[in-house]
Amino acid sequence: MIDDDDEPDHDDPEDIELLFNLFGGESELPPVLWSDYKKEPFSQCVECERPLLEPESPAYFVQKARRDGEVVFEYALCLPCTRRQDDGMSEESRRNLEAFFSRPRRLGIETGHCLLCGQDSTGPDGEREVFGLARGRHLLGQTYSICGACTDELEGQLS
């Protein structure tokens, strides 16, 4: 389902350098970011079905939501599709998200704690989302987690 008129399969080197600097170094993709269903790394973008594990594949985000230890949803979305989604966001939502993420964050903490509030990310409601940036079978930086309460607050920023 890749549209030939869409962005190329490769990443802009400046984008990758920026993301690499933002997220940190590269390491083996941990199983926490693999598909729970297939028990292996995600092999294609959920939106465009572009392959993700080939040497020329674009970088991609993985997001998984869990409730009481069970996966509620999981997906991998390549950077070109992520950019298209961002382009479709309203200006109000962009401003709200920018303000939301400009708050102090707790970078470098384990995935067991929320990136935004630092609390145990499973929280009293038993919900959390885990995400990371990958390229091929490698994690760029580290995995991050957001508790259910912060996820709800984040979703409230969208118009």
101-131 pLDDT, tens digit per residue, is 666 655 544 557 888 888 776 655 678 888 8
pLDDT in tens, 7-30: 444 455 455 555 555 555 668 899
Least confidently predicted of 51-60, 75-84, 103-112, 140-149:
103-112
Least confidently predicted of 30-34, 48-52, 112-116, 129-133:
112-116
Q: Cα-flanking dihedrals φ and ψ of residue 4, to 5°?
A: -60, -20
Tokens for 114, please give them: 């929320």
CB 135 within 8 A of CB 59: yes
